[in-house]
Structure 1
Amino acid sequence: METQNEIDYKRIADAIEYLRFNYKSQPTLEEAAAHVNLSPFHFQRMFKEWAGVTPKQFLQYLSIEHAKAVLKNKQTSLFDTAFETGLSGTGRLHDLFIKIEGMTPGEYKNGGEQLTINYSFADSLFGTIIVASTVKGICYMAFVDDDNDTAFAQLQKHFPNAAYHQYLDTIQQNAIFIFTQDWSKLSEIKLHLKGTPFQLKVWETLLKVPMGGLVTYGGLAGDLQNPNASRAVGSAVAYNPVAFLIPCHRVIKSSGETGQYHWGSQRKNAMIGWEASKAFAAV
């Protein structure tokens, strides 16, 4: 006999499939709820508990991903993109991109065109890093595991049409100084991040994990008041564009294992150990 949890899981899985196949018709909350035989109120609550986002937010993410794929065709107009995505017009497309991507559809279509990014390379305790900034703040930081050209190519993938200058500006200097020497002034670093509202919440929560501290994926989900969203939290952690400053290396498995890390588990262990020693010395 199925447990209530198993029944609820199947309902939400069914709802997710329904939204995936019907997002172009932009189904309402009532329509999605009726599909799984729930009231809109209970469906909304149950969906957020299991998926970590509301049905409306999930539908928005599906819509924006389809719109982004359509916009890769440079010949496609914004009107056509809105129509193909099931949106009522370019106004809704614009609002959706601003809310989720932090830029207009036109800016996304141009791949960051007219955006100027300064970047430089620096040594750290854990290897060479590439750090990039806009006039608003640090937009990218990563460890260089191959060569500088490869690292720069990875940066360009994030903003393919931006204008790049290899120049160490003040924003980068402040970040590098704190990165290597003084963590007490971390809050003074300005960040220019692009992500979904959920990703931004995860990264903001990560910034609250103290140096020398650790948190599990489940614990991070709990801090976000979405205890069933561990998998979604893991995806947001993995997508972190600013290594070390947004400390995704402080997230571990519930078993106590350090787990995987984008820039290598050995580096993650070294960073955790170094921070623990610094925190202990400060006591």
Structure 2
Amino acid sequence: MSEPQGYHYQVMRRAIDLIDSGAAGQTLDELAAAMHMSPAHFQRLFSAWAGVSPKRFRQYLTLGHAKALLDERFTMLETADAAGLSGAGRLHDLFLRWEAMSPGDYARGGAGLCIRWGWFDSPFGESLVMGTERGICGIGFAAEMGREATMEDLRGRWPEARFVEDPEALRPWVETAYGLREGGEAPLYLIGAPFQIKVWEALLRVPSGQVTTYSEIAQSIGRPKAVRAVGTAVGRNPISLLIPCHRALRKSGGLGGYHWGLPVKRTILAWESARAEAG
């Protein structure tokens, strides 16, 4: 029986902490010993999750990697469609449609809406997934915040909605979104203010393994002076990973913020870079 993705992430999270602290040394043998594993098992587990060796993955975790991404894999959103980039990522092959709640419905705080929810294993730890009959409307990661805070955060976005625990209703979409099911569909249902939805739509045009900046997003939606407001909208994206807010960086190359914790953002960017290289 294969180990769950969340177990892989917990191993990776511990390994990342050791790498950052320098307490375990930097060789494969030293890291494996600190993880209480044989070097062969640690290498196999690490490579199965990341797609590359621990030594190579370590390079993607450095703070300078964000700047390297901007230099090498920067996506100009204004020209992304013309260049065909909007169809280059896995998301755009998977998500055949997305739609947004009307501004009036959003203003009512989700009144009359039934939102189903469930906890699911993911490549980045335990995730809380929410969805309506039209598609996934929320994904949050509990690795840094914990279950209670993650639940409170997502539920608080639509205070008038009715919430029902029903993971089986969401499972086909979740398994497709996490790459566990082929040939399926994972529709998205965006519940947000009109400005937020414009920002999230721009994020959907950033292919996996590439990045953009908050100022570039502001330019692409016709609001070049609204960089701060764009940053806020990016941070309020309710559908983590699938609407890739982790691919938005500061113009300086800094990581910026991440609603579910910067360690998660660093890991997702490194994981996507490793997969892009391996693929």
- TM-score normalised over the length of structure 2: 0.57
C-alpha distance in 2 between matches for 1:125 and 1:236? 25
Aligned to 1:208: 205
Query: Any conservation in 1 of the 2:177–2:186 contact (CA below 8 Å)?
Result: no
The CA RMSD measured in Å over matched residues stands at: 2.5
Q: How does 1:194-233 map to 2 (within 5 A)?
A: 194-233=191-230
Q: Structure 1 residues 163 and 100 mapped into 2: Cα distance closer, same or farther (>3 Å)?
A: closer
Q: Which amino acid aligns with 1:194?
A: I
Partner of 2:22: none
Using CA pairs under 8 Å that are at least 6 residues apart, name the structure with larger relative contact order, 1 or 2: 2
Match of 2:54 in 1: none
Q: Which deviations, in whole Å up to 9, do the C-alpha atoms of 1:193-232 show, x marking residues without a partner? A: 2222221111011001000000011111222233222122
- Any stretches of 5+ residues in structure 1 without a counterpart? 1-97
**In the alignment, which residue of structure 2 is the partner of 1:244?**
241
Q: 1:252/1:184 Cα in 2 relative to 1: closer, same or farther (>3 Å)?
A: farther
Counterparts in 2 of 1:147 and 1:256: CA distance versus 1, 3 Å = closer
Show the 5 A alignment for 1:1-283: 100-103=103-106, 108=108, 111-144=109-142, 145-170=144-169, 172-181=170-179, 188-282=185-279
Question: Higher Cα Rg: structure 1 or 2?
Answer: 1
The Cα of 1:137 is off from its aligned counterpart by 1.1
TM-score if structure 1 supplies the norm length? 0.56
**Structure 1 residues 215 and 181, CA gap change in structure 2 (3 angstroms):** same
Aligned twin of 2:10: none
Whose strand fraction is larger, Structure 1's or Structure 2's? 2
Unpaired segments ≥5 residues, structure 2: 1-100
Is 1:203–1:237's contact at 8 Å kept on the other side of the alignment?
yes
- Contact 1:112–1:162 (8 Å) recurs in 2: yes
Cα 1:150–1:260 change in 2 (3 A) is: closer
Is the CA contact 2:154–2:238 (under 8 Å) kept in the aligned structure 1? no
Q: Cα 1:150–1:264, aligned 2, differ >3 Å: closer, same or farther?
A: closer
Residue equivalent to 1:19? none
Q: Which has the larger displacement, 156-165 or 191-200?
A: 156-165
More displaced stretch, 154-163 vs 272-281:
154-163
Structure 1 residue 141, shift from structure 2 partner: 1.0
Distance 1:185 1:141, change over 3 A: farther
Is the 2:145–2:261 contact (alpha carbons within 8 Å) kept by the matching residues of 1? no
Larger helix proportion of the pair: 1
CA change 1:229–1:168 in 2 (3 A) is: same
